[in-house]
Structure 1
Amino acid sequence: MTVISATDARANFQDLVNRAEYAGERIVIQRHGKNVVALISIKDLKLLEAIEDAIDSAELRRAIEENDGFTTLEEIMVRRDDE
């Protein structure tokens, strides 16, 4: 993984885009010595999103198993109106 300052990133943006796109390089951009953003390929972004979706699905399955069922928004509104 490459780490570069925001100033250098600005000056070399097209090169960094090419490195991320074609070489799959992951580039961290720093501002004032702190990591603030990363430049990654679309392939890496899709992988990250798939991992997030899998985690969300696992959490949902776990929540379903731990509960007796779901409460819909409509059910909540009816209960609220009854109070």
Structure 2
Amino acid sequence: MNGMSEITVSDARARLADVVDAARVGHDPVYLTRRGQRVAAVIDADDLDALIASAEDLADIEAAKAARAEVADGEATIPWEQVKADLGLA
């Protein structure tokens, strides 16, 4: 199953252990297809965790850029004491 990149759902069902091993060992997703269309993917769990962490980091970076832009455009900031109070930390 080395180099497997696509397999039908029905074939994957019959060869699930091989599909999982191919994704886990090769660190490349195995796409499951139905009627020639990709419908899902099997990927290594650690790779998924890394993708999620990267997506969260990117979202944080974009939110920080947007906040800086709002401040640069003259929007009022929220005092730290107010933030702590709103979060029940004060």
Structure 2: which amino acid aligns with 1:48?
A: L
Query: Is it true that 1:63 corresponds to 2:66 in the alignment?
Result: yes
TM-score (norm 2): 0.68
**TM-superposed deviation, 1:5:** 0.7
Residue ranges of structure 2 left out of the alignment (5+ in a row): 84-90
Aligned to 2:49: 46
Higher helix share: 1
> 4+ residue runs of structure 1 moved beyond 4 angstroms?
none
With structure 1 as the length reference, what TM-score do the two structures score?
Answer: 0.73
User: Counterpart of 2:13?
Assistant: 10
Count of matched residue pairs: 72
Whole-angstrom CA distance in 2 between matches of 1:45 and 1:25: 11
RMSD, matched Cα: 2.0
